[in-house]
Amino acid sequence: SYELTQPLSVSVALGQTAIIPCEGDYIRSKNVHWYQQKPGQAPVLVIYRDSIRPSAFPERFSGSNSGNTATLTISRAQAGDEADYYCQVWDSTTVVFGGGTKLTVL
């Protein structure tokens, strides 16, 4: 079965750039989607089809997908960006989520 690997945690200084990777075999051949989840809340879609950003999210959020790694990049990180972030793909007939990355803004 297909697997997605994310680091458990990523830290970023306030105002700097956070990079959250999502690794999977030949992931570049798949559409990768990202979700933000804050404590006690439902997940929210933050990037879809690798790099498309819903209008509710600012341009500071961007995505890319190349080789075996998809990446969520958060520029000029703010305290309000602290959350868990999950990548997700569709593989054959199965939805696969990464294990999630906790972003801490220092």
Partner 1 sequence: EVQLVESGGGLVQPGGSLRLSCAATGFTFSSYWMAWVRQAPGKGLEWVANIKQDGSEMYHVGSGRGRFTISRDNAKNSLYLQVNSLRAEDTAMYYCARVNLGIYFEYWGQGTPVTVSS
* Contacting positions for partner 1 (CB under 8 A): 1, 31, 33, 35, 37, 42-45, 48-49, 54, 84, 86, 88, 90, 93-100
In the sheet where 61-66 sits, what is the strand order? 18-23, 69-74, 61-66
Least separation in angstroms between residue 15's CB and partner 1 is 28
Q: Which residues lie across from 94 on neighbouring strands? A: 91
**Smallest gap from residue 45 Cβ to partner 1 (A):** 6
Tokens representing 85 are 């972030």
- The least distance separating partner 1 from the CB of residue 37, rounded to whole angstroms, comes to 8
Give the nearer residue to partner 1 in terms of CB position, either 76 or 102: 102
Q: How far apart are CA 40 and CA 29, in angstroms?
A: 33
